[in-house]
Amino acid sequence: MSNKYRILIVEDENNIQTFISALLEANGYQAITANTCYQAEMLYGSYLPDLIILDLGLPDKDGSELISKLRENDSVPIIVLSARSKETDKVNALDLGANDYITKPFGSAELLARVRSVLRNSRHNELGRLPNAKFIVGDLLIDYEARQIFVKDEEIKLTQTEYNIIAFLSEHSGKMMTYATIIKAIWGGCADESSIKKLQVNMANIRKKFGAKPGEDYYITNELGVGYRMNEKPD
Ligand code: CA
């Protein structure tokens, strides 16, 4: 048995499938390919891959159906590949349990970065929340027990809500969290215009307190119309 990471690529467009497969193999991963949802399910059962790269537009079913099915009892990381630029498709896939998405066309560097990040975070999150657990990335430190956040050893004074948002994002670091998921976790209830506004105001204040310059991804990436992702490493 090889100890390489196994990645299942589910994509019906041959040139894209070949491109991703060759790219992953060249970078030390083992690639397995499927053209349909049906094939993907078969291969998933026999290979138990460490990660799935999933196109949404497949000939037999929509890829989102596979996400729902897998998420019934499986936390295998899933990166969705979508030609569609519609926000609703991405949000839907994320809400069903996908970890991240990439919009076609994409470059090799971008794909490899997402793959590394998702694999690293799924390992990180498996360790779970131990007592006295701390989240440390670059010069950011979160002390969950003390409910304190430090940047470059200096405490950042956050409100309770701001702290709760950051703690929640860090517990799911590397995963794009949709507005609806964050709002449900922090305030309960659903994402309407006013709760999204409230979230955005909180995020703007957090960024300011973190010292982020406008347009800069400082630990947290904002995908407009989709959600927020805490990055394991600042981009
Ligand atoms: Ca397709």
Q: Tell me, in angstroms, the distance from the centre of ligand 1 to residue 66's CA.
A: 14
Q: Tell me, in angstroms, the distance from the centre of ligand 1 to residue 83's CA.
A: 8
Evaluate whether 25 touches 31 at the Cβ level (below 8 Å): yes
Token pair of 166 as six digits = 């950051």
pLDDT of residue 138: 83
pLDDT, tens digit, 9 for 90 and up, residues 111-132: 999 999 888 877 655 555 555 6
Q: What CATH class is the domain 131-230?
A: mainly alpha
Instruction: Name residue, tokens 């304190």.
Output: 148
pLDDT, tens digit, 9 for 90 and up, residues 69-96: 999 888 899 999 987 677 788 899 999 9
Evaluate whether 119 touches 77 at the Cβ level (below 8 Å): yes
Mean predicted lDDT score pLDDT of the chain: 88
Token pair of 218 as six digits = 């400082």
* Residue in 194, 193, 196, 173 with CA at minimum distance from that of residue 182: 196
Q: Tell me, in angstroms, the distance from the centre of ligand 1 to residue 198's CA.
A: 37
Q: Tell me, in angstroms, the distance from the centre of ligand 1 to residue 222's CA.
A: 27
Residues spanned by CATH 3.40.50.2300 within the chain?
A: 6-127
* Residue in 179, 187, 192, 194 with CA at minimum distance from that of residue 228: 179
Q: Tell me, in angstroms, the distance from the centre of ligand 1 to residue 229's CA.
A: 26
pLDDT, tens digit, 9 for 90 and up, residues 163-218: 999 999 998 888 899 999 999 999 988 889 999 999 999 999 998 898 877 666 67
Q: Tell me, in angstroms, the distance from the centre of ligand 1 to residue 6's CA.
A: 21
Amino acid 74 reads D
Name the CATH superfamily housing domain 6-127.
Response regulator (3.40.50.2300)
pLDDT of residue 125: 59
On the question of pLDDT at 1 being above 50, the answer is: no
Evaluate whether 85 touches 199 at the Cβ level (below 8 Å): no
Evaluate whether 123 touches 50 at the Cβ level (below 8 Å): no
Stronger pLDDT, 2 or 18, i.e. the higher one:
18
* Residue in 226, 193, 235 with CA at minimum distance from that of residue 94: 226
**Percentage above 90 pLDDT, the chain:** 61
Please report, for residues 90, 97, 172, 228, the alpha-carbon distance to residue 224 in angstroms, rounded to integers and kept in the order given: 12, 19, 19, 8
Q: Tell me, in angstroms, the distance from the centre of ligand 1 to residue 55's CA.
A: 6
Ramachandran angles phi, psi of 77, nearest 5°: -60, 140
Q: Tell me, in angstroms, the distance from the centre of ligand 1 to residue 107's CA.
A: 17
Residues spanned by CATH 1.10.10.10 within the chain?
A: 131-230
Interatomic CA distance for residues 196 and 75, integer angstroms: 27
Q: Tell me, in angstroms, the distance from the centre of ligand 1 to residue 174's CA.
A: 25
* Residue in 74, 153, 141, 98 with CA at minimum distance from that of residue 133: 141
Model confidence pTM above 0.85: no
Amino acid 202 reads N
pLDDT of residue 123: 62
* H/E run at residue 208: helix 193-210
pLDDT of residue 215: 64
Interatomic CA distance for residues 227 and 178, integer angstroms: 4
Evaluate whether 203 touches 92 at the Cβ level (below 8 Å): no
